[in-house]
Amino acid sequence: MSIAAAVTGTATAAVHAPVHHAPHHASTQRTAPRREQSPLNPSSQALRAAGSGASPPADGVRTHIANLDRVLGKPPRTPSQAGPPSSKQEQESEQEPLNIRHGLLNALNLSFFVPMPGMRARMAADEHMSPRSLMHMQQLLSADSPRASPRSTIGPRWRALHGEGGWAGLLDPLDSDLRRELLRYGDFVQAAYQAFHSLPTAAARHRGLMLPDRSYRPTRSLFATSALSMPPWAKRPNTPEWLTQQSNWIGYVAVCESEREVARMGRRDIAIVLRGTATCLEWAENLRASLVPLDGEAGEGKQAGPEDPKVARGFRSLYKTAGEEVKSLSEDVMDEVRRLMEKYKGEELSITIVGHSLGGALALLVADEIATTVPDAPPVAVVSFGGPKVGNAAFVDKLKQSGKVNVLRIVNAGDMVTKVPGVAPRLPLSKEQYQHVGAELRIDSKNSPCLRPDVGPASRHDLEAYLHLIDGFTATGHPFRYDARRSVIRLLQLQKGNVKKEYVNRARELGVDPAAPADVGRSMAYGNCAVASPS
């Protein structure tokens, strides 16, 4: 229906309708003038149709909204895929977090099995977005922001940023240079996830691996082998082979080769990057939480006491077990560290071990072995995103007393993985309980302007959510950083059900489909690896 026709129809109806004229002297009280319903108001036709007993046309509302948009000069709305959901089940799936629907891979996420009260609650007040937030959202969705390493010279203070002094005075409030360093190392882990999931069964070196910082070059692939094997009765005909194989690609070693970047950072950095849990056997190893001696099982007639360093059995198994065709993770890492130290002998070096979830646990074992077996090792820093506890109090003391290892744990409030394991089975002594090690940078999903405050455990443990929160964190009790520039496209695609509705709707209006798979090629071009981090 055109605007002219709508107006003409309304005028005709007004002529034939009886009109009552009140005398001017009837009352001194002024009456409000009668206003005709606008032909562009969808409720006007609905009211007249209800009064006459006729049913309004099915497309009346959409027609009037289109007329209104045409009058106001608004651009057409982005059409939806197939209209409104036709059933209650479809409506619930619309609100479900996207990463929950990615199949068995994300079902292996330990945090997903932990219930959280109020996970599905809807708070209308928290869905509101301010005009400033909407403008910021449009900027973040218009293009991916480059996530390059910090361009300011950090050479004079690299040791402090690398953990010398335990990051005192740099975490709360968060130092801007440290923030950019953490984001770069976090994207290194995203690159590890992408490299694994692009071809999980491949044994070739660095196949599909693209680093977000081109000043680094990968030098060796790393594999982790489980001591467990999948029983025949547990295998399913359609299960991918990589989900049940014992040895899997878990990360890589890279070294900074750009002399310009070396001069800017004040040293040549060696990065050891480890992804989180991704296979059935890795998940099974996570559940083997009994403490065992760090140096191996106690010999005959010897019993390890609480003063001996102990770590989780499953983590040690993945670190020390060799496969049929690959070395153990321990052997590969130590061989490559020694080779690179010999190659760059005489230079200022640093070793940064970074991991997410299971990778954060294995990073502590790597750091301990370097500090123990390499006397002339350079400073070692561990950056753990959502890592669990690894060992007992004696293991924590061993790392502290080495004087070579600095540990920074980044923890999202409510991330259940950072709280496990608790107390080792049948070991009630306080010294035999699991303990965390190192400094802590605590962030919170509730501080994000676009994440719902009742996000589930899967979102709280997701690596991209971690990087999003780090990019916006300024200090405890302070609002989200107003000039945060990290693109939220991947966050929308991976955590759509945990993003506020207004952000999802605005993203669609700006041409971003949150239901579409993450555009790996586009994000990689800007130094971002768009890949789900299932654990």
Catalytic residue of the set 247, 328, 357, 487: 357
Give the DSSP letter of residue 58. T
How many helical (H) and strand (E) elements, i.e. helices and strands, does the chain have?
19, 9
**Within 10 Å of residue 125's Cβ, how many Cβ atoms?**
6
DSSP string of 289-339, one letter each residue: --EEETTSS--TT----TTS-EEEHHHHHHHH---SSS--HHHHHHHHHHH
d(CA 258, CA 263) in angstroms, rounded, equals: 9
d(CA 200, CA 193) in angstroms, rounded, equals: 10
The tokens for 141 are: 């969705």
Query: Do 440 and 159 touch, CB atoms closer than 8 A?
Result: no
Which residues, 6 or more positions from 66, have their beta carbon under 8 angstroms from its beta carbon? none
Q: In terms of DSSP bridges, do strands 380-385 and 405-412 run parallel, antiparallel, or are they unpaired?
A: parallel
Q: Give the residue from 423, 111, 99, 467 showing the smallest Cα distance to 277.
A: 111
Catalytic residue of the set 64, 197, 356, 461: 461
Is 93 among the residues known to form the active site?
no
Query: Do 283 and 277 touch, CB atoms closer than 8 A?
Result: yes
Q: In terms of DSSP bridges, do strands 268-274 and 247-256 run parallel, antiparallel, or are they unpaired?
A: antiparallel
Q: Bridge partners of 312?
A: 291
Is 513 among the residues known to form the active site?
no
Catalytic residue of the set 213, 308, 368, 415: 415
SS3 for 463-514 is HHHHHHHHHHCCCCCCCCCCCCCCCCHHHHHHCHHHECHHHHHHHHHCCCCC
Q: Give the residue from 405, 339, 341 showing the smallest Cα distance to 369.
A: 405
Q: In terms of DSSP bridges, do strands 268-274 and 349-356 run parallel, antiparallel, or are they unpaired?
A: parallel
Is 461 among the residues known to form the active site?
yes
The residues annotated as belonging to the active site are 357, 415, 461
